[in-house]
Amino acid sequence: MTPLLGLAAKSLWSRRITAGLTVFSIGVSVMLLLAVEKVRSEARESFASTISGTDLIVGARGGPVNLLLYSVFRIGEPTTNVSWRSYRMVASHPDVAWAIPISLGDSHRGFRVVGTSTGYFEHFRYGRKRSLAFETGRPFEALYEAVLGADVARTLGYAIGDEITVAHGIGEVSFVNHAEHPFRVTGILAPTATPVDRAVHVSVEAVSAIHAPWQPGGQDRPAAGTPAPPPSLTAEPHGPTPPIEAGGHDHGHETLHERVEVDAARPASSPPQDGQADYPTERGPAPTGITAFLVGMKTPVATLQMQRALNEYRDEPLLAIMPGVTLQQLWQVVGIGDRALLVIAACVVLAGLTGMVTALLTSLNERRREMAVLRSVGARPAHVFALLVLESGLLASAGAMLGVLLAWTGLRVGEPLLERRFGLFFDLTAPSGYDLAVTGVVIAAGLCAGTLPAWRAYRNSLADGLSMRI
Amino acid sequence: MTETAIEVKGLRFEWVAGEPVLDIPSFVVARGERVFLEGPSGSGKSTLLGLIGGVLPPREGSVRVLGTDLGKLPSTARDRFRADHIGFVFQMFNLLPYLGVLDNVVLPASFSVRRRERAGDVLAEARRLLDALGIGDPGLLSRDVGRLSIGQQQRVAVARALLGRPDVLIADEPTSALDAGTREAFLELLMSECRATGTTLLFVSHDTALGSLFDRSLGLGAVNRAGRARQAA
Ligand SMILES: Nc1ncnc2c1ncn2[C@@H]1O[C@H](COP(=O)(O)OP(=O)(O)OP(=O)(O)O)[C@@H](O)[C@H]1O
Ligand SMILES: [Mg+2]
């Protein structure tokens, strides 16, 4: 076999232009296959970690995917809210490390407004447990302050200190403009390549405040409509100022309570209609209901217990989901397209190998003399067969290796862009099992494909014998 | 060891049914003999060499080379027998264009253990043969075989056919592309090398003028009844 391998290599070298093109086309197809799979798996990874470090997402009872869609991806609307009381109850549970309210329903020029707490900037995680970072500025402190996601700031050209108004509803054009309450931009977040980039973050109190004048009827927010609170709640007396988040953390939200002077600017004609027991009236209206809330638990076991407890909670129909699990479910649906892409890439590999077979078959006629010479020096037809299989094996191997190289270089070069635009990170230290499998399969397929020209050459050399003429 | 190198008996061969190309009752070449076989174009010379070389299986009769009946061997064994015992030189295109001169000459050693062993130091033997044939010049050796003159290419082919001292050398019109002067020189080199190694030479050509240089010269028509029948027709 060794002399044949040398012959195959030298023969290919003598046809290096055609052979080079064949190798290149196989290489490009393999590159495509590898890169598509790399991007695909990284996209899945990145999708699965659109939200990470959050143990539970709690919302009104309904479909888990639906809850995930509106709370994380800001797609669609919940039909019911979660009561502030339930949120407070969970937040103050001893096993809960932190809880962050999410209140949706408003927008600013097509971007969703998210009512939340400053804990959001501290506890929210995405990707590989990355926390949100401020490109510039700081979290909101006063009532009418807002923090913009990177896309919002970039698209609308906002800077710190700009004033924005919030519209009711989520369309580009909204009929109710809460223009009397402009928000001042205090911070802009660094890009995350998650829906966070497309959100305007304000405090939940601010969301309540801008709706306060319309709230009595409860008709104001049809999408995220706040159900009338139970009478028992309104009857409760006002208590001392509690932290918004439970769990003994104190991370800056106290400044929110100190900013009472801002709240004082609020029109006196819009007092909270149903001030809750643990809510200071001077901070703005207490939220009666929120869209959902994110929970970080102290232990994994506590997560499971809390999830069960919430899903079986009698007083209010709640749904608690583990985001990772539901993200995987959602990926089953979203991921179909990229599987199709993988199939296409595999077809391109097939085309590359077909091109190789074509090139080899075409060369056979002019190589009949070469085969006759080989036969005359003692090569058996089997040698001729093996020679051609080796040639295609060499072409496929070179192509596969070129493909790995191209894919690696391509991803290396494209990495910064892919990271910035899509939040994709690539681990390019060592070839993955998949890379090796693809390389192996392509080489094996190349050897198999080589049997066709090899068989032709074998038949030719039997028929030609030694006397192949000009 | 038999005294006959090639022994053809009652051989009949036809490419197309009903049109016999060869019908040879008997044709014998002794060991070490240098035989010139002449015949017009299309008379079946190359076909006969294919049969003796074990590339074509005889339909009828027997072809014995060195006492081995090739027709009785399976095709793989025939191929191996050819690799071990027979060297070939053709009219032209003997060399693999993508191999260098030396690589071309040592090719038979890759396919036959016997010839590799008989050659000893294969590369040294290749150089010795090329030297003896007058093309041992290092400048020539490093040249692309496609850049050699036809005469030089034919001498490289002879060096390859003789590597590992095969028992029989079959030459199928190796001189027909050469001019008269080159042809004489080439034939003398070929003869002296065969004489030196004791190789049986079966040389085929339609050029009757070359016959006098050989131990024996005969026309294919003299041994082939099919040819006579066709010529008569
Ligand atoms: N592969 C083949 N298939 C069918 N017929 C063939 C084949 N090879 C040769 N023939 C026929 O057999 C006959 C003898 O051919 P061959 O090549 O043996 O002649 P030749 O004496 O070597 O001629 P030349 O001097 O031109 O080389 C011719 O009629 C030729 O057409
Ligand atoms: Mg001929």
B131-150 pLDDT per residue, tens: 888 888 888 888 888 888 88
Percent of chain B with pLDDT over 70: 96
Q: For residue B49, give the amino acid letter.
A: L
CB A147 within 8 A of CB A162: no
Q: Could you tell me the end-to-end alpha-carbon distance of chain B, in angstroms, rounded to an integer?
A: 42
CB A453 within 8 A of CB A388: yes
Taking the Cβ of residue A367 and every Cβ of chain B, the question of whether any pair is shorter than 8 Å is answered with no
Q: Which of A271, A292, A321 is the last residue of a domain?
A: A321
Tokens representing A454 are 């090899």
DSSP, res A162: -
Q: What is the rounded distance in angstroms from the CA atom of residue A231 to the CA atom of residue A214? A: 19
CB contact under 8 A, A467 and B88: no
CB B36 within 8 A of CB B62: no
Please determine, for residue A100, whether its predicted confidence score (pLDDT) is greater than 50. Answer: yes
- Is A223 inside a domain boundary? no
- Chain B 79-138, residues with CB within 8 Å of chain A CB atoms: 79-80, 82-84, 88, 90, 92-99, 103, 107-108, 110-112, 115
Q: What is the rounded distance in angstroms from the CA atom of residue A182 to the CA atom of residue A178? A: 8
To probe the interface with A, which of B56, B85, B86, B99 has the most A CB atoms within 10 Å? Answer: B99
In the prediction, which pLDDT does B42 show? 85
Residue nearest to atom 3 of ligand 1 (CA): B15
Please determine, for residue A146, whether its predicted confidence score (pLDDT) is greater than 80. Answer: yes
In the prediction, which pLDDT does A177 show? 61
**Beta-carbon count within 10 A of B77 CB:** 14
Tokens representing B72 are 């009785």
Look at chain B and count its residues: 233
Question: Are A345 and A263 part of one and the same domain?
Answer: no
A45-98 residue pLDDT tens: 777 778 888 899 999 998 898 898 888 888 887 878 899 999 999 999 999 999
Question: Are A279 and A343 part of one and the same domain?
Answer: no
CB B103 within 8 A of CB B186: no
In the prediction, which pLDDT does B1 show? 56
Q: What is the rounded distance in angstroms from the CA atom of residue A89 to the CA atom of residue A319? A: 15
In the prediction, which pLDDT does A57 show? 94
Question: Are A37 and A71 part of one and the same domain?
Answer: no
Residues 6+ apart with CB under 8 A from B143: B101
Higher pLDDT, A187 or A2: A187
What is the band of A131 on the pLDDT scale with cuts at 50, 70, 90? confident
In the prediction, which pLDDT does A55 show? 92
* Beta strands at B60-65 and B216-219: parallel, antiparallel or unpaired: unpaired
- Chain A 377-436, residues with CB within 8 Å of chain B CB atoms: 377-383
Higher pLDDT, B39 or B178: B39
Please determine, for residue B116, whether its predicted confidence score (pLDDT) is greater than 60. Answer: yes
> Phi and psi dihedrals of A139, rounded to 5?
-65, 160
Question: Are A349 and A434 part of one and the same domain?
Answer: yes
Q: What is the rounded distance in angstroms from the CA atom of residue B126 to the CA atom of residue A162? A: 89
> Phi and psi dihedrals of B18, rounded to 5?
85, -5
Tokens representing B192 are 């002296």
Q: What is the CATH number of the domain that holds B208?
A: 3.40.50.300
Residues of chain A in contact with residue B93, where contact means CB-CB under 8 angstroms, are 369, 373, 470
Residues of chain A in contact with residue B55, where contact means CB-CB under 8 angstroms, are 375, 465-466
B47-89 residue pLDDT tens: 898 889 888 888 889 999 998 998 888 888 888 898 999 998 8
**Minimal Cα–Cα distance from A3 to chain B, Å?**
6
Q: CA angle, A180 as apex, A175 and A184 as ends, to 5°?
A: 110
Residue corresponding to tokens 């994380």:
A72
Question: Are A114 and A204 part of one and the same domain?
Answer: yes
What is the band of A230 on the pLDDT scale with cuts at 50, 70, 90? very low
In the prediction, which pLDDT does A175 show? 53
- C-alpha pair distances (Å), A182 with each of A111, A143, A177, A343: 16, 10, 10, 51
CB B205 within 8 A of CB B40: no
Please determine, for residue A276, whether its predicted confidence score (pLDDT) is greater than 60. Answer: no
Q: Which domain holds residue A242?
A: 56-217+229-321
In the prediction, which pLDDT does B136 show? 82
Q: Which of A261, A295, A321 is the last residue of a domain?
A: A321
The mean-pLDDT minimum among A208-222, A312-326, A343-357 falls in A208-222
Please determine, for residue A261, whether its predicted confidence score (pLDDT) is greater than 70. Answer: no
Enumerate the β-bridge partners of residue B147: none
Pure H helices in B53-149: 75-85, 101-105, 107-111, 113-119, 122-132, 138-141
Q: What's the mean pLDDT in B191-199?
A: 87
In the prediction, which pLDDT does A381 show? 85
B17-26 residue pLDDT tens: 888 888 889 9
- What's the half-sphere exposure (Cβ side, CA atoms, 13 Å) at A177? 11
Q: What's the mean pLDDT in A181-189?
A: 90
Higher pLDDT, B1 or B203: B203
SS3 state of residue A269 = coil
Please determine, for residue A186, whether its predicted confidence score (pLDDT) is greater than 90. Answer: yes
Residues of chain A in contact with residue B90, where contact means CB-CB under 8 angstroms, are 376, 466-467
Number of domains making up chain B: 1
Nearest to B55 among A369, A382, A465 (CB): A465
The alpha carbon of B47 and the centre of ligand 1 are apart by a number of angstroms equal to: 6
Q: What is the rounded distance in angstroms from the CA atom of residue A453 to the CA atom of residue A114? A: 65
Whether B46 lines ligand 1, by a CB cut-off of 6 Å, is yes
Question: Are A26 and A165 part of one and the same domain?
Answer: no
Strand runs (DSSP E) across A153-251, as ranges? 163-168, 177-189, 199-203
Buried b (16+ CB within 10 A) or exposed e, A153-178: beeeebeeebebebbbbbeeebeeeb
Percent of chain A with pLDDT over 90: 28
- Is A411 inside a domain boundary? yes
Q: What's the mean pLDDT in B165-190?
A: 85
Between helix A336-366 and helix A433-464 the angle, nearest 10°, is 30
- The ligand minimizing its distance to the Cα of A465 is 1
Tokens representing B117 are 């062993």
Whether B205 lines ligand 1, by a CB cut-off of 6 Å, is no
Question: Are A343 and A275 part of one and the same domain?
Answer: no
CB contact under 8 A, B111 and A377: yes
CB contact under 8 A, A10 and B112: no
Number of domains making up chain A: 2
Nearest to A466 among B53, B80, B96 (CB): B53
pTM over 0.80: no
Question: Are A43 and A63 part of one and the same domain?
Answer: no
Higher pLDDT, A193 or A280: A193
> Phi and psi dihedrals of A252, rounded to 5?
85, -10
Question: Are A113 and A32 part of one and the same domain?
Answer: no
In the prediction, which pLDDT does B193 show? 86
- Is A341 inside a domain boundary? yes
The mean-pLDDT minimum among A33-42, A66-75, A97-106, A140-149 falls in A33-42
Q: What's the mean pLDDT in A163-178?
A: 67
Nearest residue of A to residue B110, measured between CA atoms: A3
In the prediction, which pLDDT does A277 show? 41
Q: What is the rounded distance in angstroms from the CA atom of residue B159 to the CA atom of residue B58? A: 29
The mean-pLDDT minimum among A253-262, A393-402, B98-107, B165-174 falls in A253-262
* Beta strands at B200-205 and B34-38: parallel, antiparallel or unpaired: parallel
Taking the Cβ of residue A10 and every Cβ of chain B, the question of whether any pair is shorter than 8 Å is answered with yes
- Is A91 inside a domain boundary? yes
DSSP, res A288: S
Angular region, B10: left φ>0, alpha ψ -120 to 50, beta rest: left
Q: Which of A257, A291, A321 is the last residue of a domain?
A: A321
CB contact under 8 A, B99 and A379: no
CB A59 within 8 A of CB A82: yes
Question: Are A261 and A345 part of one and the same domain?
Answer: no
Nearest to A14 among B83, B94, B98 (CB): B98
What is the band of A251 on the pLDDT scale with cuts at 50, 70, 90? very low
- Return the closest-CA partner of residue A26 out of A438, A383, A341: A438
CB contact under 8 A, B46 and A374: no
- C-alpha pair distances (Å), A128 with each of A190, A239, A300: 16, 40, 18
In the prediction, which pLDDT does A259 show? 32
In the prediction, which pLDDT does A267 show? 41
**Minimal Cα–Cα distance from A10 to chain B, Å?**
6
Angular region, A386: left φ>0, alpha ψ -120 to 50, beta rest: alpha
As a whole number, the mean pLDDT across chain B is 86
Whether B220 lines ligand 1, by a CB cut-off of 6 Å, is no
Question: Are A105 and A207 part of one and the same domain?
Answer: yes
What is the band of A422 on the pLDDT scale with cuts at 50, 70, 90? confident
In the prediction, which pLDDT does A382 show? 87
Residues 6+ apart with CB under 8 A from B77: none
**Minimal Cα–Cα distance from B162 to chain A, Å?**
11
- Is A469 inside a domain boundary? no
CB A376 within 8 A of CB B88: yes
* Beta strands at A134-137 and B4-16: parallel, antiparallel or unpaired: unpaired
Higher pLDDT, A267 or A71: A71
- What's the half-sphere exposure (Cβ side, CA atoms, 13 Å) at B48? 34
Q: Which domain holds residue B135?
A: 4-232
Atom of ligand 1 lying closest to residue B43 CA? 21
CB A434 within 8 A of CB A37: yes
SS3 state of residue A231 = helix
What is the band of A171 on the pLDDT scale with cuts at 50, 70, 90? low
Q: Supply the ipTM of this predicted assembly.
A: 0.87
**Beta-carbon count within 10 A of A73 CB:** 16
HEC secondary structure over B35-76 = EEEECCCCCCHHHHHHHHCCCCCCCEEEEEECCEEHHHCCHH
Question: Are A212 and A81 part of one and the same domain?
Answer: yes
The mean-pLDDT minimum among A210-214, A279-283, B111-115 falls in A279-283
To probe the interface with A, which of B46, B70, B111, B114 has the most A CB atoms within 10 Å? Answer: B111
SS3 state of residue A437 = helix
In the prediction, which pLDDT does A265 show? 37
Q: What is the rounded distance in angstroms from the CA atom of residue A158 to the CA atom of residue B81? A: 88
In the prediction, which pLDDT does A179 show? 61
